[in-house]
């Protein structure tokens, strides 16, 4: 049985031995990177530098939230606004694995630059078991290259330390609760961010649309959960499908993109079942999205695929 208290004590002791004085952590503000940062901070205090990168593919107000979290934790941190860099790197790129690899490589180059400036040799990542299992190895097929695994260059200058590598999400949450981290209950958000919630090319314009749609899905579902109208899904978000369909807007013909609503129940993300969101909530989400973005989006669909055969994210 997994004992979070033992895991915490063993991990801190190990980190003290394995980290060569200073380290950087890729800090996304999600459960995995925050729990990793809290553990490493206990081992090496201010010799840990947390780096948060705004890739442009973050959720609405996410980077502000992340900065606030880093300040509350008392982390020694750096914030890097790399939005234009990422948008440019993904220009004209539609294939999901290529998108993931480019994003992973960009992240690593940014971290290598910070490490050079700060004279650091070690990178901490919040990789958990499903990330590397699904990224494939000699024994397993690649399902998708999780950005914190598949994007690593063959020759990486930094020593990589992954304190949560053998844990599943429910175990990471248990560790987070013992460490009193309020983010322990946050829904997972993938490293490549909204770029993999846009099918095909993740242009800045499409990103703005999916960012707004994700915000509406999150806000309405959280409201419904707080009002006792449904249980909290494991994950809930929007996907932009850049297929245009015909609709009406006022008394005019409309021709806009499609948004899919995705919400799933899971324990460890290795398998999942689609959530049954009550119809009135779906109705609210649909109306809000089309009211707000009717000029660009005029069709909303609901994804009723389990994993397998689907995956949680669409790319």
List of residues contacting ligand XMP (CB under 6 A): 130-131, 134, 144, 146-148, 188, 190-192, 235, 269, 307, 311-313
Q: Can you tell me the distance from the alpha carbon of 70 to that of 77, in angstroms, rounded to the nearest whole number?
A: 7
User: Least separation, in Å, of the C-beta of 107 and ligand XMP?
Assistant: 10
Q: Can you tell me the distance from the alpha carbon of 77 to that of 88, in angstroms, rounded to the nearest whole number?
A: 26
**With respect to ligand XMP, which residue has the nearer C-beta, 22 or 307?**
307
State the residue for tokens 């290795």. Answer: 270
**With respect to ligand XMP, which residue has the nearer C-beta, 259 or 312?**
312
**With respect to ligand XMP, which residue has the nearer C-beta, 7 or 107?**
107
Closest CA to 134 of 271, 27, 274, 303: 271
Q: Can you tell me the distance from the alpha carbon of 280 to that of 277, in angstroms, rounded to the nearest whole number?
A: 8
Supply 177's token pair.
């609760």
Q: What is the DSSP string of 19-70?
A: S-S-EEEE--SSHHHHHHHHHHHHHHGGGEEEEEEE-S-SPTTHHHHHHHHH
User: Least separation, in Å, of the C-beta of 139 and ligand XMP?
Assistant: 18
User: Least separation, in Å, of the C-beta of 170 and ligand XMP?
Assistant: 12
**With respect to ligand XMP, which residue has the nearer C-beta, 164 or 224?**
164
Q: Can you tell me the distance from the alpha carbon of 19 to that of 44, in angstroms, rounded to the nearest whole number?
A: 8
**With respect to ligand XMP, which residue has the nearer C-beta, 30 or 256?**
30
Closest CA to 89 of 233, 185, 13, 201: 201
For 241, residues 6+ apart whose C-beta sits below 8 A from its C-beta are: 199, 257, 258, 259, 260, 301
**With respect to ligand XMP, which residue has the nearer C-beta, 118 or 268?**
268
User: Least separation, in Å, of the C-beta of 180 and ligand XMP?
Assistant: 23
Q: What is the DSSP string of 123-167?
A: EE----HHHHHHT--SSS--S---HHHHT--SS-SSEEE-TTTT-
User: Least separation, in Å, of the C-beta of 268 and ligand XMP?
Assistant: 9
**With respect to ligand XMP, which residue has the nearer C-beta, 163 or 192?**
192
User: Least separation, in Å, of the C-beta of 43 and ligand XMP?
Assistant: 22
**With respect to ligand XMP, which residue has the nearer C-beta, 45 or 142?**
142
């Amino acid at each position: 049985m997994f004992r979070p208290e033992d895991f915490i004590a063993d991990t801190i002791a190990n980190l003290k031995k394995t980290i060569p004085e200073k380290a950087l952590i890729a800090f996304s503000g999600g459960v995995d990177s925050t729990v990793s940062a809290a553990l490493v901070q206990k081992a090496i205090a201010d010799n840990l530098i947390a780096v948060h990168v705004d890739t442009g593919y973050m959720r609405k107000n996410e980077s502000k939230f992340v900065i606030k979290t880093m300040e509350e934790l008392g982390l020694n941190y750096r914030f890097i606004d790399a939005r234009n860099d990422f948008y440019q790197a993904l220009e004209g790129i539609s294939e999901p694995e290529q998108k993931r690899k480019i994003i992973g490589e960009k992240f690593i180059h940014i971290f290598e630059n910070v490490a050079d400036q700060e004279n650091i040799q070690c990178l901490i990542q919040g990789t958990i078991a499903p990330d590397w299992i699904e990224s494939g190895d000699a024994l397993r097929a690649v399902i998708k290259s999780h950005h914190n695994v598949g994007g690593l260059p063959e020759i990486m200058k930094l020593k990589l330390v992954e304190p949560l590598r053998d844990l599943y999400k429910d175990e990471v949450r248990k560790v987070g609760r013992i460490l009193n981290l309020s983010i322990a209950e946050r829904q997972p958000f993938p490293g490549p961010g909204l770029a993999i919630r846009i099918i095909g090319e993740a242009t800045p314009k499409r990103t703005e649309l999916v960012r707004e749609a994700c915000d509406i899905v999150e806000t309405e579902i959280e409201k419904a959960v707080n009002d006792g109208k449904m249980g909290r899904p494991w994950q809930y978000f929007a996907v932009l499908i850049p297929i245009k369909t015909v609709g009406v807007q006022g008394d005019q013909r409309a021709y806009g993109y499609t948004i899919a609503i995705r919400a799933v129940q899971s324990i460890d993300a290795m398998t999942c079942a689609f959530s049954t969101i009550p119809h009135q909530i779906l109705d609210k989400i649909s109306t809000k999205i089309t009211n707000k973005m009717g000029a660009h989006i005029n069709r909303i669909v609901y994804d009723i695929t389990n994993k397998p055969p689907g995956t949680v994210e669409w790319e």
